Structure 1
């Protein structure tokens, strides 16, 4: 089973919709959680067939801020809604093998004065569900200062509160593959800021059941957030018969070619 979470910064943009369609077709996530849709509930849910899903639960944005939607296929994935708010959607997932856990798609409060509400919400949801819990999405905070590059070096009071919540709820960060950051802003070296705000975390019971689970940071597009993809198996399964592409490799001998510099500049 696989899940994809993305703070898309607006599903009213056709380019964002097209990007999600490509990712869903290529990676085939069983669960798709999208935050900051910036559209109403009905408009978000109507996109389900375009993404290849049969079911959806949306939360309307407040004006042009917020908005959530969770997509899944009822035939292959059983999802039973537990609760929702402007900052989360949670429900019980039942796999084909009979395993059950609570999936929580989260979009944390962005302003520092309210970040404690994110940790309180997650604690409440974990305590209410007596079993395996998986939380994914935009937490809007880093877990360690090493997860930040650029910007002012200021104390962030929400970090120790974040860690305390993780300990209290017995949650583990599932790590990642790919670029270390999931959020970026700024256009120059001096103004650029990068942080790891998006992640998947699971409690010990969930991690013990899924020891081969791994997270991949995909290519950032349109939004200032990177989509994150969780796969439970050792090898990620992709839909269709698309051939696996070999990664690009630079040959040092190309530097001896007189046209190399021109080709690189043009690209």
Structure 2
């Protein structure tokens, strides 16, 4: 999944393995750098080309300062893995509000908040009481954060119990402040299919980053030459982005990703043993095609490395 979506940075909540294994996972996922928060519940990985430093390491969140190159504006990214009870989450909200007092640049907060904001973000189980969301709402409001929405299923977590006891919630989301929204004005969050987890992965992208990262590169020469070279580089980058992000040739993977969306929505609506069986079969098929795609991408990477070595 990391190879398919060409992500520059990944945050994992509750990896379920000891944090001393993070270096091995860094190599396996193809990243250059990694860090764990103080209790090992949040792992972050990123590639070369970014200067990253930790400004707050907390048991429920980790906040990073990120700079793509020395000429770019700093931005801040907070990965969240919240506690399960409202009383335990109070420490998280307090830590974010304290950060808000010192951060006056683009800031993004995302992850598993373990609480919903609105009653319609849950199906099954006991009815949601608005009072349960009050502290969450107050924190995001005081930090000047806005929920940027999502593409895909309405829910990001399922308890995977029998149909009569099954619960779905939107526990995972991404917020940005005004400075982030102004700098990256085409933010999208996609809810990907669940694979081996009770949570959906969130894919967070913005289009402007692709343009600005190439446009700000320093090129020597007269103004016309600089413009031509930047347009040439940008054209290549956008063509690559289009092939890899929009016009992906791996049709079976794309088909089963869409199919998983349908099967999960069907299971949420019907809540029967048959709908759960169809969903489980779909998961197996989707994982099969993901693994096939991952193998192809790794082979392509090895070929590119070999060609570069020959030059």
TM-score, normalization by structure 1: 0.76
Q: Rg bigger for which structure?
A: 2
Q: Which residue does the alignment assign to 1:164? A: 138
Judge conservation of contact 2:61–2:92 (CA < 8 Å) in 1: no
> Deviation string for 1:114-137 (max 9, x for gaps)?
222222122122222222210111
Distance between the aligned counterparts of 2:93 and 2:110, measured in 1?
13
- Give the alignment partner of residue 164 of structure 2, picking from 178, 190, 205: 190
Residue by residue over 1:35-92, the C-alpha shift from the partner in whole angstroms, topping out at 9 and shown as x without a partner, is 112333221233101101010001364xxxx62211001x222212212122121111
Structure 2 Cα separation of the partners of residues 202 and 101 of structure 1: 11
Specify the SS of the correspondent of 1:206.
Answer: helix
1:226-245 equivalences under 5 Å are: 226-233=200-207, 238=244, 243=249, 245=251
Among candidates 12, 28, 32, match of residue 6 of structure 2: 28
What corresponds to 2:269 in structure 1? Answer: none
8 Å CA contact retained: 1:91, 1:103: yes
The residue number in structure 2 matching 1:3 is none
Cα distance change of structure 1 residues 154 and 175 upon mapping to structure 2, 3 Å threshold: closer
1:42 aligns with 2:20: yes
Supply the distance in 2 between the matched residues of 1:76 and 1:244 (Cα, whole angstroms): 28
Pick aligned residue for 1:129 from 84, 103, 125: 103
> Would the aligned equivalents of 1:126 and 1:133 in 2 still touch at CA under 8 Å?
no
Give the distance between the partners of 2:144 and 2:2, measured in 1 at CA.
Answer: 31
User: Which segments of 5 or more consecutive residues in structure 2 lack a partner in the other structure?
Assistant: 209-237, 260-277, 283-311
Confirm or deny: 8 A CA contact 1:182 1:197 kept in the other structure: yes
Structure having the higher helix fraction is 2
Q: SS at 2:164's partner residue?
A: coil
Write out the 4+ residue segments of structure 1 that deviate beyond 4 Å after TM superposition.
234-237, 246-250
Which residue is equivalent to 2:91?
117
Which whole-Å CA distance do the structure 2 matches of 1:167 and 1:157 have between them? 15
Determine the C-alpha separation between the residues in 2 that align with 1:83 and 1:163.
22
Specify the SS of the correspondent of 1:216.
strand
Q: Separation in 1 of the partners of 2:161 and 2:83?
A: 25
Inter-partner Cα distance in structure 1 for 2:173 and 2:61? 14
Match of 2:58 among 72, 85, 89: 85
Structure with higher strand content: 1
Instruction: Confirm or deny: 8 A CA contact 1:45 1:69 kept in the other structure.
Output: no
1:131-146 to 2 correspondences below 5 Å:
131-146=105-120
Distance, in Å, in 1 between the alignment partners of 2:93 and 2:166 is 28
**Pairwise CA RMSD of aligned residues?**
2.7
- Answer yes or no: is the 8 Å Cα contact 2:119–2:127 preserved in 1: no
- Structure 1 residues not aligned, in runs of 5+: 1-22, 251-264
